[in-house]
Structure 1
Amino acid sequence: MKFSQFSQEEKMNFAKGFRFGLESEYLVVKKDDFTPLWHQDLTFELLNGIFESVSLEGIPSCDGLDLEPPQTKLMPFVVEGYHLPDMDFGAKEILPKGVEIRTPVCDSLEHVLQVHSTLYTRLRAAMNAHNFDLVCLSHHPIHSKFSGPQNKRRHDYWQWSMEVMTTFGPDINVSLPENLAAMVSDEDLEAKINYYGPALSALSVASPFVDGNLWGLKEGFGKSFRMHKRSYIAPPIEFHPTEKNRYEFKVFDMPNSLEEIEAQFLTFLALVLDESLQGRASKQTRIYDLGQVARHGLAAEDMKERATELLEKAPAVLSQWGFNPKALEVFKKRVLTGKTPADDMIELYQKTQSLKEVLKSRSEFRV
């Protein structure tokens, strides 16, 4: 059976069973001068103490979220970083790279956006009170390498845990009702994401700095050093069938507005629900395409065309399931202009020659 065989009323009723969650990571800077901070400058105890001071009044229950040692209180806030292990590879200490907000499970897209907005506003106020601020930037602008003792039994997991010590990004989480999830082929969905995912990544590129300067190429500047790191090893989606059919979508750089987060959710929903999208690609092709996107953004070959196809079809499909497609306009504008967040940052840096000004511009999360 195909989704197209459902009536619009049936689709809208099914959509009421969708569940949503968001994980978003932030670079920490000094509030007074926007100096980028890292594990040498931050401690778990300091950040965790700030987290515990934040009110959770009106926030849904955190049941279902993982308690990540060395944290002892289940919260929507996590110290992101490198876990130093004990003899049994349990986390005994963490070297902070930044902070993460993770919403509890929410029963609608509107709800998850509202909860994230509330959590962000409260956390930022608490961080500001300690002379810290949060910046939406997908790769650390000063540090690009990290080395730590082996903290995973598998060698490849250990290598990856060192790579992500300098990266920041969002994870889009959507759970489908059981009867709908049974109709989705994970293999086909992954092949579809291999094709369209790099184009979505190109719409979000937001990390053009490496080691304190713009990421210079032979011609121009690279757009996402985070994607450059992730392209060859990190999966674009993780499937969690035992967690109420949760799909974890991981192709985007870190946005700095609630509208863009909504657009990210909507494009993933379109990928799942739009059966007219015919593009499919292999893992190897996706790795190559992401490598090009990391360097050239929307100017990478065929990315505008793929993004245009998805964005033109998405509104009709999303509306049938009861989702408002308006937020997709932020992505449609980028396709038309060819300008991404990375382009804006490159332009601002060339104009001001000031990393501080760029970080300041990315510290305002528009809610």
Structure 2
Amino acid sequence: MFNFGIEHEVAFLNSEGKFVDFSRAKFADFNQIIEQLPIYPNDHLQLRIGDAGIRKKRWYIEGFERFTDSEKIVDCTPKGIEIRTTIHSSIQSTIDELTESFYLLCKISGQFGFSPVLISFNPCKTVFEPEPPLNDYEIKQIQQAHPEEQTANIYMVTYGPDLNLSMAGLSNESLIDIGKKLTYYSPYIVPFSYSSPFYQDSLWEGLSVRTFVRTGKRAAAMVFVEKPEQMIKSTPSLTKIARLPAEVGRIEFKAFDSCDDFSIYAGLLALLKGLILDESLSGRAIIPDAEKHQLSAQQGFDNQDIYAIASQVLQAAEVALGDDPDVNLLAPLKVMLEKRETKAHQLIRDFNKLGSIEQVLKNTYSALA
């Protein structure tokens, strides 16, 4: 009935303990890691390779592709490595594959002096400026691109997952309605993932710089449709043409911060599944509410409105799941809501104790150690 997948972006510290981003790494630094990771022969049926050929594996270099004055790619400015799972019929098997792929990445990256760390917004740089500057061909390509691809200045400093779901038998109208529903309730559920309290080498005044910066410019949810006439026009986009048959009908939630405890991803997938099944929540929006997201980014569950509607949404998802075993995956989200506590709170406490962002980052992914 349901299918699931996850795309999870990983950032790194280098052997000197410094945060690695586009200013410190070259494509070859990360490509040597990718080359040592396995390739699975049938993945191309589910996972898009792309024109540049960078996405041949379950792991690929996430970055900004550079071109000459033609379609020929000449470089890719890296920001990290993305792990993507194949399509699974259960949440747990999705998490199991993600975990296995993450451990493989840790093993190989460690051989080259890189260690994965959790971050959802670049703690040092606030802006990405292509170097050398864009040529005329690149400028033209960006102007003609999908709106999501016109915001490199945002995605090159942010890190976050795409949580993918599809449900058999949904009409195109139902798919788009679910996309609108997830877009509306996004500011109330994203605090479950907050993990970006750092900005310009220090603490930010809230819990998620990523949410504060990206909202209004990038989508909260995306629905993949088969035909151009099924698209609805909006900026940021709510709909996108599927690039593979396996993508048709996919609902992609894009607004969460990254998590270093994959049981939280399991809980968030169960929450989204419950929201798809739910028939009681009436909120709908074509584009994300920037003001509500920014309020959420600063205050999280400490804001009474955010807390109240998050509670309502979580309860609605639980009721909709009923006796489905996946309802048990909501447990860590319930604890977070009860305590009004996010991962960002722990990162802030660690920073106040250690006084160094890099030292704080070294302690992340401890749940997977």
Give how far 1:158 is off.
5.8
**Per the alignment, in what secondary structure is the counterpart of residue 11 of structure 2?**
strand
Taking the aligned partners of 1:282 and 1:50, their CA distance within structure 2 comes to 39
Give how far 1:46 is off.
3.0
- Cα-to-partner distance string for 1:306-353 (whole Å, 9 max, x where unaligned): 111122232332245x34222212111111111111111111111221
- Indicate conservation of the 8 Å contact 1:70/1:93, yes or no: no
- Indicate conservation of the 8 Å contact 2:62/2:78, yes or no: yes
- Indicate conservation of the 8 Å contact 1:33/1:356, yes or no: no
Task: Structure 2: state its 5+ residue gaps.
Answer: 227-246
State how 1:123-272 maps to structure 2 within 5 Å: 123-148=105-130, 149=134, 150=139, 152-154=142-144, 159-177=150-168, 179=169, 181-182=170-171, 185-215=174-204, 221-242=205-226, 243-272=247-276
Taking the aligned partners of 2:151 and 2:71, their CA distance within structure 1 comes to 16
Give how far 1:301 is off.
4.7
- Cα-to-partner distance string for 1:243-274 (whole Å, 9 max, x where unaligned): 23111111210011121010111111111111
**Per the alignment, in what secondary structure is the counterpart of residue 153 of structure 1?**
helix
State how 1:64-83 maps to structure 2 within 5 Å: 64-68=46-50, 70-71=52-53, 74-83=56-65
**Per the alignment, in what secondary structure is the counterpart of residue 283 of structure 1?**
coil
Name 1:332's counterpart in structure 2. 334
Taking the aligned partners of 2:175 and 2:222, their CA distance within structure 1 comes to 10
Taking the aligned partners of 1:73 and 1:305, their CA distance within structure 2 comes to 41
Q: Is 1:102 the counterpart of 2:84 in the alignment?
A: yes
Match 1:308 to one of 301, 307, 311? 311
**Number of equivalent positions:** 340
- Indicate conservation of the 8 Å contact 1:135/1:364, yes or no: no
CA separation of 1:62/1:205 partners in 2, compared to 1, >3 Å: closer, same or farther? same
- Indicate conservation of the 8 Å contact 1:62/1:104, yes or no: no
CA separation of 1:158/1:241 partners in 2, compared to 1, >3 Å: closer, same or farther? closer
Q: Is 1:359 the counterpart of 2:361 in the alignment?
A: yes
Q: Is 1:43 the counterpart of 2:23 in the alignment?
A: no
Taking the aligned partners of 1:101 and 1:34, their CA distance within structure 2 comes to 22
Taking the aligned partners of 2:25 and 2:348, their CA distance within structure 1 comes to 28
AA aligned opposite 1:143: K
Give how far 1:294 is off.
1.6
- Indicate conservation of the 8 Å contact 2:128/2:152, yes or no: no
**Per the alignment, in what secondary structure is the counterpart of residue 345 of structure 1?**
helix
**Per the alignment, in what secondary structure is the counterpart of residue 251 of structure 2?**
strand
Q: Is 1:279 the counterpart of 2:271 in the alignment?
A: no
Q: Is 1:122 the counterpart of 2:104 in the alignment?
A: yes
CA separation of 1:256/1:183 partners in 2, compared to 1, >3 Å: closer, same or farther? same
Give the ranges of 4+ consecutive aligned residues of structure 1 lying more than 6 Å apart after TM superposition: none
**Per the alignment, in what secondary structure is the counterpart of residue 235 of structure 1?**
coil
Taking the aligned partners of 1:270 and 1:318, their CA distance within structure 2 comes to 5
Taking the aligned partners of 1:253 and 1:357, their CA distance within structure 2 comes to 20
Q: Is 1:93 the counterpart of 2:97 in the alignment?
A: no
Give how far 1:91 is off.
3.5
TM-score by length of 2: 0.85
Match 1:343 to one of 329, 338, 345? 345
- Indicate conservation of the 8 Å contact 1:318/1:324, yes or no: yes
- Cα-to-partner distance string for 1:9-35 (whole Å, 9 max, x where unaligned): xxxxxx2xx2221100011112x4531
- Indicate conservation of the 8 Å contact 1:70/1:94, yes or no: no
Task: Structure 1: state its 5+ residue gaps.
Answer: 1-14, 216-220
- Indicate conservation of the 8 Å contact 2:311/2:337, yes or no: yes
**Per the alignment, in what secondary structure is the counterpart of residue 174 of structure 1?**
strand
**Per the alignment, in what secondary structure is the counterpart of residue 343 of structure 1?**
helix
Taking the aligned partners of 1:287 and 1:73, their CA distance within structure 2 comes to 32
TM-score by length of 1: 0.85
Name 2:291's counterpart in structure 1. 288
Taking the aligned partners of 1:33 and 1:333, their CA distance within structure 2 comes to 36
Taking the aligned partners of 2:177 and 2:312, their CA distance within structure 1 comes to 18
AA aligned opposite 1:122: L
